[in-house]
Structure 1
Amino acid sequence: MRRRLPPVRAALAAAVLCTVAAVALVLLPGGGPPPDFGTRATGDTRSSGAPAPAPHSTPPSASGAGRPGTDALPAGPPAEPTGIRIDRVGLAARVEPVGVLENGTVEVPTSPDSAGWYRFGVAPGEVRGSAVLVGHVDHATGELGEFAALYDVRAGDEVSIRRDGAEPARYRITAREVVDQERLPSGLFRREGLPVLTLITCAPPYDEGSGYRNNLVVTAEPRQRA
């Protein structure tokens, strides 16, 4: 079941349109959202239902070599992500690009084994902005999605993003927080500022009528090379 939102919130809806299967909720660690940790890096202080940034057909040109936090990001033009791994928690998912549907909702992968890269934002490996991947916490069949593993991540866990025709982009997790879907910060989709990887899935509580009411947001920053 997918929840439909007005087109003005299309970009923000990328984190909202999760499959809602109550049977899987009881299988999540602790049966509820995990505790927050760390401080999410932000280059945009807007929140509380602020309009989403307008989608763009192509990301901005990547520049800013030598900025803090960009040491582990591959040089060169943006490359599409094809896979994500967080070995310590056993997360391994293929990544496919997703966009906005004609009805104003954001396209999401149909499989709980896949993650969706919001292609109207920046790509993982770019040296500015927030690269967003969304994934299912569960599926209508009751199967847990790969992004359910985000409930078990810790600060410092390594994230590897496999990229088409380029070396992997590598990150370390720095923060995790539970956010009300109605107050999802638009800064999660920013296209400027220091580079981060933003991973989003659904979080309890679960409502039989409208589905999950929260989102779990995990932030990872580029891993510094030794």
Structure 2
Amino acid sequence: MPSARSTSWILAAVAAICLAVAATLLLTPSGSPSPADFGSVPTAARPGTEVRDPPSQDAGRKVEPGEAAPSRVRIPRVGLEAEVVSVGLGANGDVAVPGDPAQVGWYRRGPAPGDRTGSAVLAGHVDSETDRLGALAALYDVRAGDPVTVERKRGKPLRYQVVARQLVPRDRLPEHLFRADGPPVLTLITCAPPYDREQGGYQNNLVVSARPVR
């Protein structure tokens, strides 16, 4: 599990996702100024609490990295279908979010989709300099219960169900979003209004959490 120091570094790096250079998302895709929160975000188990294996297609085993690498994410009801590429940290210490807004980045230094424990993070831009909406702009319209599919380079696709969505100030992302322990969860992160050019771009993150299903 990352140390407190390294976790803080990760949080600061992911906050840079919202240092966008465009302000195309003045309203969300659904037409409201900001999406409403719902649900409860899965967090790490309390001390002394047994962590159960996830009800996934991998029968609770730890997936090998090459097999676990995600290749595509889908949320059909909101029209989200995007290629997933592996990302780490760039030279400046920021998460290397894909430059193409149509792509989503899997943070490979954390858990992978299908791992027995922890939060597998997928992050991407909400828009671009050319006024093009990013793939994760669709997260503004998700509902509790929406099915999510993550395809991998090898192995069976993984199925999840949306359980929560929350709007978080970009500099206050909770540490549990990047945890390596506790129940497995898929965490999708993108930017959210308001947009303030003088303050460096979007001021919030939109975080969607999904649990694995059988």
Report if TM-score (shorter chain) is over 0.5: yes
Helix, strand or coil: the match of 2:164? strand
Aligned letter for 1:25?
L
Residue in 2 aligned with 1:50?
Answer: none
Give me the identity figure in percent. 52
2:56 to 31, 55, 72: 72
Aligned letter for 2:10?
A
Residues 1:86 and 1:194: Cα distance change in structure 2 (over 3 Å): same
1:1-226 mapped onto 2 (5 Å cutoff)? 9-12=8-11, 13-18=13-18, 19-26=20-27, 28-43=29-44, 67=52, 70-74=54-58, 75=61, 76-78=63-65, 79-209=68-198, 210-223=200-213, 225=214
Relative to the length of structure 1, the TM-score reads: 0.81
Aligned letter for 1:67?
R
Over the residues paired in the alignment, what is the CA RMSD in angstroms?
Answer: 2.1
Deviation at 1:20, TM superposition (A): 3.5
Residue in 2 aligned with 1:56?
Answer: none
Structure 1 stretches of at least 4 aligned residues deviating more than 3 Å after TM superposition: 7-10
- Alignment check: 8 A CA contact 1:87 1:158 kept: yes
- Alignment check: 8 A CA contact 2:105 2:124 kept: yes
Residue ranges of structure 2 left out of the alignment (5+ in a row): 1-5
Identify the range of structure 1 (83-92 vs 9-18) with the bigger mean alpha-carbon deviation. 9-18
Helix, strand or coil: the match of 2:17? coil
Counterpart CA distance in 2 for 1:16 and 1:186 is 16
Relative to the length of structure 2, the TM-score reads: 0.85
Q: How many equivalent residue pairs? A: 198
Deviation at 1:23, TM superposition (A): 3.0
Aligned letter for 2:83?
R
Residue ranges of structure 1 left out of the alignment (5+ in a row): 1-6, 46-63
Counterpart CA distance in 1 for 2:17 and 2:8 is 12
Counterpart CA distance in 2 for 1:171 and 1:29 is 23
- Alignment check: 8 A CA contact 2:28 2:35 kept: no
Residue in 1 aligned with 2:3?
Answer: none
Counterpart CA distance in 2 for 1:8 and 1:104 is 13
